[in-house]
C-alpha cells in the first residue's frame, strides 16, 4: 500500500465547529473521516445540477428541435379530467427541493 500525506488548513475562529469535532476524534480516525467526506462531496457534486447545467441542457434540446429531432410526443388530455396532465407530478415536486 502506498501512502500519501496531505495537509489542510482551517480558521480556528470561523471553523471552530470543525476544530471541536476534529479534536474529539480518536487517534487515527481523521484520515478516514476526510476520505469519506471527500468521496461524499464528489459523489454529490456529480449528481447535483446547477442553473448553468439546466440552461445548457435546455439549449441542447432547443438545438435538437431546430434540427427537426423529435424528442417525444405529448398525449392529449381528455376533456373530462382537467387535472390528468399533472398526475404523478407529486414525486417530482417533492424532489424539487433537492435541486434548489
Per residue in 50-86, pLDDT (tens digit) is 788 788 888 888 888 888 876 565 555 555 554 545 5
Residue 12 grid cell: 480556528
In this predicted structure, what is the pLDDT of residue 98?
52
Percent of the chain with pLDDT over 70: 64
**Coil, strand or helix at 53:** helix
**Mean pLDDT computed over every residue of the chain:** 76
Asked if residue 97 has pLDDT above 80, the reply is no
- 65 CB-near residues (< 8 Å, 6+ apart): 71
Is 0.75 surpassed by the pTM of this model? no
pLDDT number for residue 100: 47
Amino acid at each position: 500500500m502506498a501512502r500519501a500525506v496531505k495537509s489542510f488548513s482551517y480558521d480556528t475562529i470561523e471553523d471552530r465547529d470543525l476544530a471541536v469535532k476534529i479534536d474529539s476524534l480518536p487517534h487515527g480516525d481523521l484520515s478516514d473521516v476526510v476520505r469519506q467526506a471527500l468521496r461524499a462531496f464528489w459523489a454529490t457534486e456529480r449528481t447535483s445540477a446547477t442553473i448553468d447545467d439546466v440552461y445548457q441542457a435546455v439549449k441542447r434540446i432547443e438545438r435538437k428541435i431546430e434540427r427537426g429531432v423529435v424528442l417525444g410526443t405529448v398525449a392529449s388530455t381528455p376533456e373530462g379530467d382537467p387535472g390528468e396532465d399533472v398526475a404523478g407530478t407529486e414525486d417530482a415536486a417533492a424532489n424539487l427541493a433537492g435541486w434548489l
